[in-house]
Amino acid sequence: MLSIKSVLAKPFAKRVYKNMKKWANNPIKTQEKVFQELISSATPTQFGKDHDFISINSHEDFVKRVPVRDYEALRPYVERVVAGEKDILWKGKPIYFAKTSGTTSGAKYIPITKESMPSHVEAARNAILLYIHETGNSKFVDGKMIFLQGSPILNEQNGVKLGRLSGIVAHYVPKYLQKNRLPSWETNCIEDWETKVDAIVNETLNEDMTIISGIPSWVQMYFEKLIQKTGKPVGEIFRNFNLFIFGGVNYEPYRSKFESLIGRKVDSIELYPASEGFFAFQDKQNEKGMLLQLNSGIFYEFIKADEFFTDNPKRITIKDVEVDVNYVMIISTNAGLWGYNIGDTVQFTSIKPYRVIVSGRIKHFISAFGEHVIGKEVEQAIQEVSTNTGISITEFTVAPQINPKKGLPYHEWFIEFEEEPKDLDALAKKIDESLQKQNTYYFDLIEGKVLQTLKITTVKKDGFKMYMKSIGKLGGQNKLPRLSNDRKIVKDFPYIN
């Protein structure tokens, strides 16, 4: 028998779907409205004065006055906000800083304002509601839900609360879900990731888990510990578990591994959240890509990835994007980020409506020889080979080998296998062929005898986990880069077989 909660979820889901259709069917008008509201609201701020917002009437005006910046370039303004100054990037002061680990110079403090906070919460809620609307399945709302996330303990900096995004969002779980939600507050506050996962296993083992959510690599650790403890597949432990919600990385390389850990297929919803904004979520089970959130106080610009590092690359809006082109995504938001490069590359899978996949990071690519191989390509190669051979891969990263002891340079793939295959050379050849099919530059370099076929170096069981622990990035929102343009990660890597 369905509960009141699951019965009420369906009309609520229908209402959310109708509202979404309104802006999704008028995308350019919706974005234009967001743009005008952002400029108008921020005109009196220090940033608005410095960049002559009062005379901005169009995207062309904006491009002339506001350059593309990453965090380092925006840092002088952010530091004034962190120091407690008002009306710098956005009116007043932010209500939170989402603290993230910066790649170049220490921590980053991303402002979250009272205007931007609701979209972080509503987008995740709406993703579930649209799933209910599409499938008619609302029974899972009566079961227990787990969100593997960072600690909800917040510090304070000059009157502004500070913490990890997932910890901040933990304070906004609606009342009607509080009883269903796991782990407990105390467990969520455990900082050491391995200790935390052990505690989560103990807390959830005898519960009726229906939704499990988190970054796939860390959910995998949770699943493995459950199986270790019980000797049963996850789907047998949690018989009503039917929905996996994930974000942060491409799920496809993990899918076959997860199905073997669960023991059956479950539906999944992909999210695209970041400290800087909640950009997209999967709105259809059988459509590729995630619906870009055009009505959430974020104005989007795009630069073709292969033009990004040229002088004065062209910045376009959604009306000029094309399907299957690799773009660097630039955002301006009601949290006070302007012409901001979040570092992600995306590709549109559809423009009616606008759906995207995350194809990689603009810094995470290999172009040591002019091949410009991106994250999406290496992930697709791994996925194809795993599907066709039945080989199970736990984790991997790729780096260029420019100065081998003998022969031509090559791409070196560091792979942790569930069970090491007998013929690594044959596997390397298959992965290489998939990469050549996807990337003509790489194909030309192999054909032209500039590069030799990729080589596989096997990594010990839990080697990548040990590596992430050794650099203080185990768990939470931390992800192993799929590929690098240098050998920083793999240089003197101690966890190889």
Q: Where are the domains of the chain?
A: 365-470
Decide: helix, strand or coil at residue 250.
Answer: coil
Q: Any bridge partners for residue 357, and if so which?
A: 347
- Output the pTM of the full model: 0.81
CA separation, residue 97 to residues 100, 197, 482 (Å): 9, 26, 28
pLDDT computed for residue 481 by the predictor: 84
pLDDT computed for residue 151 by the predictor: 81
Q: Are the beta carbons of 210 and 240 closer than 8 angstroms?
A: yes
Q: What are phi and psi of 359, to 5 degrees?
A: -95, -15
pLDDT computed for residue 7 by the predictor: 67
**Tens digits of pLDDT across the chain (497 residues):** 445 566 678 888 999 999 999 999 999 999 999 999 999 999 999 999 999 999 999 999 999 999 999 998 999 999 999 999 999 999 999 999 998 765 444 678 999 999 999 999 899 889 999 999 999 988 888 888 888 777 888 899 888 999 888 888 888 877 766 778 888 889 888 888 788 889 999 999 999 999 999 888 778 889 999 999 999 999 999 999 999 999 877 777 778 888 999 999 999 999 999 899 999 999 999 999 999 999 999 999 999 988 888 888 999 999 999 999 999 999 999 999 999 999 889 999 999 999 999 887 787 778 778 787 888 889 889 999 988 888 888 899 999 998 888 888 899 999 999 888 989 999 999 999 999 998 888 988 898 788 899 999 999 998 988 898 888 877 666 778 888 888 888 888 888 88
Q: What are phi and psi of 43, to 5 degrees?
A: -55, -40
Q: How far apart are CA 231 and CA 202, in angstroms?
A: 15
Which residues lie below 8 Å from residue 442, measured CB to CB, with a gap of 6+? 371, 373, 435, 436, 451
pLDDT computed for residue 1 by the predictor: 41
CATH architecture of residue range(s) 365-470: 2-Layer Sandwich (3.30)
pLDDT computed for residue 225 by the predictor: 92
- How many CB atoms sit inside 10 A of residue 312's CB? 6
pLDDT computed for residue 218 by the predictor: 79
pLDDT computed for residue 346 by the predictor: 93
Task: Quickly tell me which residue has 């491009």 as its tokens.
Answer: 63
Q: Any bridge partners for residue 399, and if so which?
A: 412
Task: Quickly tell me which residue has 């995350």 as its tokens.
Answer: 358
Q: Which of 170, 379, 131 minimizes the C-alpha distance to 266?
A: 131
